[in-house]
Amino acid sequence: MSKARSALVTGLALAVVGAGSWILPPNPVAAPARPPAVAVPVSVASVTRSDVPVFLTGLGTVQASQTIAIHPQVEGEILDVIFVEGQHVKKGDVLARIEPRLFQAALDEAKAKKDQDEALLVAAEKYLNRFAALGQRDIVSRQDVEQQQARFDQLKASIAADEAAIELAQTQLDYTAIRAPIDGRVGMRLIDRGNIARPADKSALTTLVVTRPSGVVFTMPASTLDDVRAAMARGAVEVTAFDQDNSRELARGKLLLIDNSVDPATATIRLKAMFDNKDDRLWPGQFVNARVLIETRRNAVVIPSVAVQRGPRGAFVWVVTANDTAEPRAIEVGPAANGQTIVHAALEEGEAVVTEGHYKLRPGARITEVPPQPPERAQ
């Protein structure tokens, strides 16, 4: 039994030694060192202070300051259309003519009627003077004198009516020359010579518009109403009109008014701005973007707008630390203008933030600064 026990112990010892020789390498080698992290190339910009204009933008359309449909005021055949489509005209310029002969005849008739009544008035005055003298000597009755007086007064009234008829006939004759009521630009010709024009016709001869000045009617969310009213209370509010792509400035003007009610269906408010439009860059019916200058934030902390990132917890920026690493920092952003965004209370002037290369960054990542990439040109 003692020999069997000794053999068992010896076998177990040999098994333990063999297992240890299988687990541990005969010549252990030290693990290789981890390579240093590669610096991420980024572009950076400094946090600065600046005066930042605050804008609100709305989409609108250009309206002429006046639009007049040119209709004839008397009925007749169009003899001639004189204006050139699209030309500028002055007040009083003849645009078209209507056949005037019927109206000229009516004027001549009214004048002849007046001449006739004036001749009768002269005779009636002589009779009245004669009857008045005879009445003083009781040769004629008082009734005869009164009848002559009534005849004289009746002829005077007829002459006054004749003068009114002459004025009416002259006015109708003048209306055969269709004139521009104001300075402006005429549109397309909508009726040709030879047609019969009537004042009651729905179709106008043409349309006359005044584009200097021009207005822009645009809409903005009703939530901006208080800001706009506060700006108007401080003084004149500047409005800049840009093209539909919001890439070219067309004109600068002033905010004229805020509409008197909010549209409940869209929760928007309409506003109107006026522009001198001396170069005619604003055209009636054109779609434009109206940018309203609400205020100017003085000495505000600003960063390039491209530095602002969005995450699940809101806006943040990558801040460059003193040991050339990048750390994310949550920020509260304010209004943005001209590529700059106002930041409230999270950054200090002089700190550096990453503007390009964000997608490669991780908290604590080492960075190396590179120049910003130039903007790509449109092909």
CATH 3.40.50.1000 fits 101-174, yes or no: no
Q: What integer pLDDT is reported at residue 129 of this predicted model?
A: 84
CA distance 85 to 186: 6
DSSP H or E segment with residue 11: helix 2-23
Q: Identify the CA nearest to 184 among candidates 255, 74, 72, 284.
A: 284
The helix/strand count (H/E) of the chain reads as 4, 20
Q: Identify the CA nearest to 45 among candidates 259, 311, 313, 317.
A: 317
CA distance 129 to 41: 118
Lowest average pLDDT, out of 124-128, 229-233, 249-253, 321-325, goes to: 124-128
Q: State the angle between helix axes of 101-136 and 142-174 in degrees (0 to 180), rounded to the nearest 10.
A: 160
Q: What integer pLDDT is reported at residue 16 of this predicted model?
A: 43
Q: How confident is the model at residue 9 (pLDDT cuts 50, 70, 90)?
A: very low
Tens of pLDDT, residue by residue over 347-363, are 999 999 999 988 889 99
Q: What integer pLDDT is reported at residue 32 of this predicted model?
A: 55
Cβ count within 10 A of residue 184: 22
Q: What integer pLDDT is reported at residue 10 of this predicted model?
A: 53
* Per-domain boundaries in the chain: 42-52+299-369, 55-64+210-297, 74-97+178-204, 101-174
Q: Are 216 and 275 in contact (CB under 8 A)?
A: yes
Looking at the domain that runs over 42-52+299-369, which CATH code has it been given? 2.40.420.20
Structure pTM? 0.69
Tens of pLDDT, residue by residue over 127-186, are 778 878 887 877 778 887 788 889 888 989 999 999 999 999 999 999 999 999 999 999
Query: What is the percentage of the chain residues whose pLDDT exceeds 90?
Result: 67
Q: What integer pLDDT is reported at residue 21 of this predicted model?
A: 44
The fold adopted by the segment(s) 55-64+210-297 is Elongation Factor Tu (Ef-tu); domain 3 (2.40.30)
Q: What integer pLDDT is reported at residue 5 of this predicted model?
A: 52
What are the C-alpha distances in Å from 170 to residues 73, 94, 107, 176? 13, 17, 6, 10
Q: What integer pLDDT is reported at residue 19 of this predicted model?
A: 43
Tens of pLDDT, residue by residue over 178-218, are 999 999 999 999 999 999 999 999 889 999 999 999 999 99
Pick the CATH number of 74-97+178-204 from 3.30.70.270, 2.40.50.100, 3.40.50.40, 3.40.50.1980: 2.40.50.100
Q: Do 101-174 and 74-97+178-204 have the same topology in CATH?
A: no
- Flag whether pLDDT at 296 surpasses 60: yes
